[in-house]
Amino acid sequence: MNGLGLLSRLFSNKKAQVPKVKERTPLNIQVGDIVNYELVDYEVVGKITYREHAYEWFGYQLLEGRSTIWLSAEMDDELELGIYRTIKLPVSQPFPSKLEYEGNAFHKDSGGQARVVGEGRSSNVNGQMIQYADYISEDEKEYLSVEAWGSDTEVSLGHDIEPYDIKIIAGSH
């Protein structure tokens, strides 16, 4: 046996011991990853997986300094991504068919119930059942996402982005 065979076996064993970080896509981002959006690096500090029957979608809480945004990701017929910011807009249940925000009308597009799995800063919502509704502006450029978490209702304003608008850098896991 020549020394080269032994060396190549040693190196191949070393490689096998290094855990391979799975390539990140918008559908498998993990808490601790970094998402670059508009030249800003945000840390993924929370992840919520929403499940309604067999369908699931994701919300990622992105933090940079004191700025928090949410990245939504779902695979419908194609990958749909959005950036959302929480806004103050009082909405009560049952959710209305139309909402107004800053002079824009939004019409209810869909809604239902989803069970959520929370990770990271979102782990406190793990296992909850929420009511949700999605609204679309008349020009179809902006969205309102309404979620009822028990007695709290959260409203976020968002817009579509393209996959090339973000870059995902895997964390250490």
**Which pLDDT value is given to residue 110?**
95
CB 135 within 8 A of CB 107: yes
CA distance 139 to 39: 27
Residue-wise pLDDT tens digits, 27-60 = 999 999 999 999 999 999 999 999 999 999 999 9
Average pLDDT, the chain: 91
The structure's pTM equals 0.86
The two structure tokens encoding residue 124: 């406190």
Phi and psi, residue 66, nearest 5°:
-105, 5
Q: How far is CA 40 from CA 96, 133, 149, 166, in A?
A: 36, 29, 30, 10
Domain ranges for the chain, please list them: 3-169
What digits encode the pLDDT tens for the residues 116-139?
999 999 999 999 999 999 999 999
In this structure, what token pair is assigned to residue 125?
């919502």
Mean per-residue pLDDT for 87-114?
A: 96
Residue 2: per-residue pLDDT: 52
Report how far residue 156's alpha carbon sits from residue 112's, in angstroms, rounded to the nearest whole number.
17
* Residue-wise pLDDT tens digits, 57-74: 999 999 999 999 999 999
